[in-house]
Amino acid sequence: MPILVIFIILVVVTATIHLISIKRNAEINEIISDLEKLKLNPEYKEAAELNIEFFKAIRYPFLYIRWLIFRAPKIRKNRGKILELADLPLPEWQKKTHERFLKLERLFFPKIIQPIKKRVISEIMSMQGRKKPIILLDIGCGSMELERQIIEELVKQNFTHPVIFAGVDCTSGMSDVAFKNLSSLPSSSLTEFSDVPNFRKDAFLAIMKNLVSYQGTQKFSVVFLTTNIFNLETLPENYFDLVYHSRLKHHVMPEKRGVLEKITTYLSSKVIEFDDLCIIPVFIFPSIITWRWPLTLNGAILSYLRDPSKHELLSNNNTGWELKMDSNLGFYLRVYSKTERNAIPLPKQRKIKKLIVSKKQLVSVKS
Ligand SMILES: C[S@@+](CC[C@H](N)C(=O)[O-])C[C@H]1O[C@@H](n2cnc3c(N)ncnc32)[C@H](O)[C@@H]1O
């Protein structure tokens, strides 16, 4: 009898692994075929080739290990040019990547957004009791899984002060992913989800004014802005009580990172930056955990190749920024607190471009 049970378990496990690998290979082939088409566009040729090489390598473990040992270090040397699949104009794969990434963020282990979640919650707690609602901005907010977990935690702790979570992301279709994700919160938690498809300062400030004056019992609301962070410099200085970003920095081209810092520190007197560190162990553990999901593996490994080393972080840290690194878990947090001495002036304001605003939607989440 026990032999029969062991035999059945072995058959089930082998069949499951086989099915997973058939599905995995089919997905890899589909991605490669879309990348081959994108390669014809000169703007994305190099990035498409790099991704094709990556996806071909992850077909088999030994090819992947060879890629990690011999190719990855060379790619890192020229890391300013790396683009992940989610950075390329392939909307279907962008959406799928973010949907899978949020599943990873929801896992009980390894809790990959825990450090920034804890820090943002502690900042929110410290603002409790003031007269106005707390206004936050998440840059490169993606699926807003971070906000979902923060709201869940605040509800658990009976936090009653109104909080407005604004999120900005430049990928089109991301607001749908965020809306669907936040819809899993109980209806009693969220007042509304406002979607501002094409950012325009006046439309955004009008929505914010409405939310600030909201007198109802539900305390948390979300405003999603689909735009590039570099368009936000027209907003009033220190408009937000806290600006934060999680795993965004490595997506910003190196020559633009200084401007990113100037904009974030202009928009708030408190800024939190969270991202991963490039250390050898980060390549091993996620490779095993995400092997099953080629999209997540691509995002994780190419991100790590773009991330800073401990040495780079230490030598480039500007004044006013407190730096905390965790080499065991492979992440860092940088926190900026504005004082008169370290306030960074914005570059000369650009002339405000005339933007065409498409329809503004105001939708209630499970109202
Ligand atoms: C790795 S994802 C992180 C998502 C989310 N912050 C999280 O931790 O789950 C990076 C996100 O930044 C967005 N992004 C990259 N560059 C951006 C920019 N210049 N302006 C706005 N969003 C940007 C991408 O669209 C993507 O959703």
Closest CA to 255 of 227, 236, 230: 230
More confident site: 187 or 351: 187
User: Helix, strand, or coil here: 274?
Assistant: strand
- Which of the four pLDDT bands, split at 50, 70 and 90, describes residue 348? low
The domain locations on the chain are: 2-77, 94-363
Distance, CA of 335 to chain centre: 17
What pLDDT does 282 receive?
81
Report the amino acid identity of residue 110. Answer: P
Q: How many CA atoms lie within 13 A of 38 on its CB side?
A: 23
DSSP 307-333: SPPHHHHHHHPPTTEEEEEETTTTEEE
In this predicted structure, the answer to whether residue 119 has a pLDDT above a threshold of 60 is yes
Q: Which residues line ligand 1 (CB under 6 A)?
A: 105, 113, 140-142, 145-146, 168-171, 174, 228-229, 246-248, 251-252
For residue 138, report the distance from its CA to the centre of ligand 1, in Å. Answer: 9
- The residue contributing the CA closest to ligand 1 atom 10 is 248
Closest atom of ligand 1 to CA, residue 303: 1
Cα-based angle 20, 25, 26 (whole degrees, multiple of 5): 100
Q: Provide CB contacts within 8 A for 349, sequence distance 6+.
A: 233, 234
For residue 284, report the distance from its CA to the centre of ligand 1, in Å. Answer: 24
What pLDDT does 215 receive?
77
What pLDDT does 364 receive?
39
Closest CA to 234 of 355, 340, 358: 355
- Which of the four pLDDT bands, split at 50, 70 and 90, describes residue 356? very low
- Determine the longest span between alpha carbons in the chain, in angstroms: 79
Omega prior to 308 cis, within 30 of 0: no
Which is the CATH superfamily of the domain at 94-363? Answer: Vaccinia Virus protein VP39 (3.40.50.150)
In this predicted structure, the answer to whether residue 355 has a pLDDT above a threshold of 50 is no
- The residue contributing the CA closest to ligand 1 atom 13 is 140
Q: What is the pLDDT of residues 226-282, one digit of tens each?
A: 999 999 999 999 999 999 999 999 999 999 999 999 999 999 999 999 999 999 888
User: Helix, strand, or coil here: 144?
Assistant: coil
Lowest-confidence region among 138-142, 191-195, 214-218, 233-237: 214-218
In this predicted structure, the answer to whether residue 135 has a pLDDT above a threshold of 80 is yes
DSSP 179-233: HHHHTTS-TTTEEEEEEESS--HHHHHHHHHHHHT--SS--EEEEEEES-GGGGG
- The residue contributing the CA closest to ligand 1 atom 12 is 140
Q: Does the CA dihedral 255-260-262-263 come out positive or negative? A: positive
- The residue contributing the CA closest to ligand 1 atom 9 is 142
What pLDDT does 214 receive?
83
Burial 157-180 (b: 16+ CB within 10 A, else e): eebebbbbbbbbbbbeebbebbbe
For residue 179, report the distance from its CA to the centre of ligand 1, in Å. Answer: 16
Q: What is the pLDDT of residues 11-68, one digit of tens each?
A: 888 887 778 888 999 999 999 999 999 999 999 999 999 999 999 999 999 999 999 9
Residues 304-315: what's their mean pLDDT? 95
DSSP 171: S
What pLDDT does 161 receive?
93
What pLDDT does 192 receive?
84
In this predicted structure, the answer to whether residue 365 has a pLDDT above a threshold of 50 is no
